[in-house]
Amino acid sequence: MMKNFMLDLCVGSLMAGSAVLPQFMAAGTPSDVAIASAGNADAKYLAYPVYEGEDLELSIVGNDARFRLWSPEARAVKLRIYGQGRYGEPLQTIDMQKAENGTWTASLTPVPYGKFYTFQVNVDGKWLDETPGIWAKAVGVNGHRAAIIDFASTNPEGWAQDKGPQVKAINDVVLYEMHHRDFSVHPNSGIANKGKFLAMTENGTVTPLGDKTGIDHLKELGVTHVHILPSYDYNSVDEANLPANQYNWGYDPYNYNSPEGSYSTNPSDPATRVREMKQMVKALHDAGIGVVMDVVYNHTADNDKSNFSLTAPGYFYRHNQDGSYSDASGCGNETASERQQMRDFIVNSVKYWAKEYHIDGFRFDLMAIHDTETMNQVAAALREINPSIFVYGEGWTAGNSPLPAEARALKENVARMNGIAVFSDDIRDAVKGHYSDAADRGFATGKPGLEETVKIGIVASTAHPQVDYSKGNNSKFPYASSPSQIINYVSCHDDLTLTDKLAKSMPGSSEADRQRVARLAQTIVFTSQGTPFMFAGEEVFRNKKGVHNSFKSPDSINAIDWNLKHLNKDQFNYYKELIALRKAHPAFRMTSAEDIARNLKFDKVTTPNLISYSLLNNANGDEWKEIKMVFNGADEAATVKLPKGQWRVIAQDGNICHTGLTAPDGTQLTLPGGTTEVAPRSALILAR
């Protein structure tokens, strides 16, 4: 199984940019593409009855606990009630009754609150292992038994009024990708609930040197949304042995609809993990910060022993012609979103998290394993609950799939999805160098020839008269029809941190030099059209000691050392100002491809590693008539020609202030136009 996690986790970006589809597929291809069937198995599964109700497995109605398991091929199903979350004999074993649409039902009165349950399915005369089902919303330690709890009792005070930030357009969002342990577990975080959901509920925490940490740090930095790594119940960390301090990213799903126990203070008490996750959400909402959840419906930790397999064997997965599991996830299996009951599962699961936990957005892991129709239904269902909820994902797979490319939720198909964004591997690899080749350099580290791909990132992969997609490295056509479809980034939990990538690709450089490059790289990301995304801790120049696939590395690799905030104070202030600049200026957040084509003009530049452009016409209602952006990725100063006039200097030579840089005497820094120098490895931002 370890193999699974390993593969899983290194694959997040493996296929990025590899499968480039011809342009005709992006523009106007009908979305109801027929999905080829893989062998005879598909015909069998298509004949299964579908149960569309939202009361699967357990619903509480008045004094009744009503059970309904979907298991169309079962010959018999047993429901067992236990007094404990693990061990011990069942208190009761109940034969469930065959009911409509492939379901099996049973009912208990009064509701046995505090008890646990499992299902056991007989297929072809064989009893499978017990399972908590696929809809367990609360579970005992390690998730092997589902729990019967009163959800109303898990709501923190004020929960009924709790709301995430209103989002008019996803491009207004600033995303911060965070693992619970990374963020709070370091001894100098000053946080009491280290590695827990509750870490976010602590106000006033500081490092021994007095710098803000935790939620106060997020407020200070100015990000709008925290994107939490998998927080559903995953398989790898032993919840019964928390003192072992096991670490995992969590891309090994076990119970999709219950929070992970190791992030709670008491995994043995099913209500605790539910309550504490809600407390985290509430604390972030109270601070004006939204919560995005990383969801991994594309595969399960186990194959034959997953909860999917133990309820309806085979149905939830795709297979090869020979009947074996197909493996587009690189983890041993891939789910089959094109089958109605699986599609409904995904849609109902995100709806559940949005309603019960007030989640504000969803990040889909290996989204292209899912079909575009499923993703469209996900986005539509969430919009109905709250128009502020947004969805984005990895528009690639980690291996081949029986699902035809035209049906996959690939980045190349994003124009056929409504309300879905994809990560731009274009800007990622062009700015910092290739993700999987540590020594490879990018635009920001002085490698020439990547200018056009960076420009693809700047215009959010939309059609622009001055961008030549034939020169793009990862994409050959403008696959986005709107900037709302693009997430820009230069690093995430996958692969080397930006800090480590720069150390490996700039041997012999000084740390000060590498910090300059990081500033330039993130300036490109945060001023580009689309939505910016950053990896937690990058703002204090955190590293992971060169470990690129740290999915199960110890805290000594993954924890953010918050003393870095003191050491790299200038770096932190740069990021903070950069975020403030983006938030203060709608020109960086244009809402249509047409606006970008009209208001964003590149200057003719022939110098390698130099990009110069203007945001014109008070773009998107900006107070600034024109913003001049110049990025110099070379190791030497570059000369550019500016239109004559009085330019306010916003960023120069590694410094930035969103209201304009000032001279030591407090006066605004200005440039008169004409010929000016741009310092090596830096951004020049001017406004008038």
Task: Point out the residues that are catalytic.
Answer: 365, 394
Least Å from the CB of residue 146 to Ca ion: 13
DSSP letters spanning 523-589: HHHHHSSSEEEEETTGGGT---TT-S--TT--HHHHS--TTHHHHTHHHHHHHHHHHHHHHH-GGGG
Give whichever of 253 and 457 is closer to Ca ion, judged by the CB atom.
253
Residue span binding Ca ion (CB under 5 A) among the ranges 60-68, 226-234, 269-277, 619-627: 226-234
Q: Considering CB under 5 A, how many residues would be counted as binding Ca ion?
A: 3
Write out 284-344 in H/E/C secondary structure: HHHCCCEEEEEECCCCCCCCCCCHHHHHCCCCCECECCCCCECCCCCCCCCECCCCHHHHH
Rounded CA-CA distance 300/309 in Å is 10
Question: Among 408, 549, 561, which Cα is nearest to 21's?
Answer: 408
Coil vs helix vs strand at 648: strand
Residue span binding Ca ion (CB under 5 A) among the ranges 115-123, 178-186, 225-233, 351-359: 225-233
* DSSP code at position 5: H
Least Å from the CB of residue 357 to Ca ion: 17
Give whichever of 108 and 242 is closer to Ca ion, judged by the CB atom.
242
The binding track of 178-217 with respect to Ca ion, each residue x by CB under 5 A or -, is: ----------------------------------------
Residue span binding Ca ion (CB under 5 A) among the ranges 253-261, 399-407, 507-515, 628-636: 253-261
Residue span binding Ca ion (CB under 5 A) among the ranges 85-93, 117-125, 233-241, 414-422: 233-241
Give whichever of 141 and 517 is closer to Ca ion, judged by the CB atom.
141
Give whichever of 33 and 242 is closer to Ca ion, judged by the CB atom.
242
Least Å from the CB of residue 239 to Ca ion: 5
Coil vs helix vs strand at 81: strand
Coil vs helix vs strand at 371: strand
Q: Tell me the pairing of strands 600-602 and 610-615.
A: antiparallel
Least Å from the CB of residue 250 to Ca ion: 8
Helix (H) / strand (E) containing 43: helix 41-46
Rounded CA-CA distance 302/214 in Å is 34
Rounded CA-CA distance 415/395 in Å is 12
Least Å from the CB of residue 155 to Ca ion: 23
Conformational region of residue 533, where left means phi above 0, alpha means psi within -120 to 50, and beta covers everything else: beta
Site for Ca ion in 254-273 (CB under 5 A): 260-261
- Which residues are CB-contacts of 43 (< 8 A; sequence separation ≥ 6)? 37
Give whichever of 260 and 344 is closer to Ca ion, judged by the CB atom.
260
Rounded CA-CA distance 314/317 in Å is 6
Cα-only R_g, the chain: 26
Least Å from the CB of residue 255 to Ca ion: 8
Site for Ca ion in 59-98 (CB under 5 A): none
Q: Rounded to 5, what percent of the chain is helix, strand, coil?
A: 30, 20, 50
Give whichever of 241 and 321 is closer to Ca ion, judged by the CB atom.
241
Rounded CA-CA distance 671/128 in Å is 74
Least Å from the CB of residue 238 to Ca ion: 8
Residue span binding Ca ion (CB under 5 A) among the ranges 200-208, 227-235, 408-416, 677-685: 227-235
- Which residues are CB-contacts of 452 (< 8 A; sequence separation ≥ 6)? 467, 468, 471, 472
- Contact yes or no for 82/145 (Cβ under 8 A): yes
Give whichever of 140 and 261 is closer to Ca ion, judged by the CB atom.
261
Give whichever of 222 and 261 is closer to Ca ion, judged by the CB atom.
261
- What values do phi and psi take at 196, rounded to 5? -115, 160
Give whichever of 136 and 281 is closer to Ca ion, judged by the CB atom.
136
Residue span binding Ca ion (CB under 5 A) among the ranges 75-83, 229-237, 495-503, 550-558: 229-237
197, two tokens: 């959901």
Give whichever of 260 and 429 is closer to Ca ion, judged by the CB atom.
260
150, two tokens: 């009163």
Burial annotation 184-206 (CB, 10 A radius, 16+ → b, else e): bbbebbbbebbbbbbbbbbeebb
Residues composing the chain: 688
Residue span binding Ca ion (CB under 5 A) among the ranges 93-101, 230-238, 413-421, 647-655: 230-238
Rounded CA-CA distance 9/248 in Å is 10
Residue span binding Ca ion (CB under 5 A) among the ranges 232-240, 395-403, 522-530, 663-671: 232-240
626 binds Ca ion (CB under 5 A): no
Least Å from the CB of residue 260 to Ca ion: 5
**Adjacent-strand bridge partners of 541:** none
Nearest residue to Ca ion, by Cβ distance, number only: 233
233 binds Ca ion (CB under 5 A): yes
Least Å from the CB of residue 393 to Ca ion: 23
Q: What amino acid occupies position 259?
A: P
Give whichever of 260 and 653 is closer to Ca ion, judged by the CB atom.
260
Question: Among 465, 534, 455, 552, which Cα is nearest to 498's?
Answer: 534
Least Å from the CB of residue 143 to Ca ion: 5
Least Å from the CB of residue 45 to Ca ion: 29
The footprint of Ca ion (CB under 5 A) covers: 233, 260-261
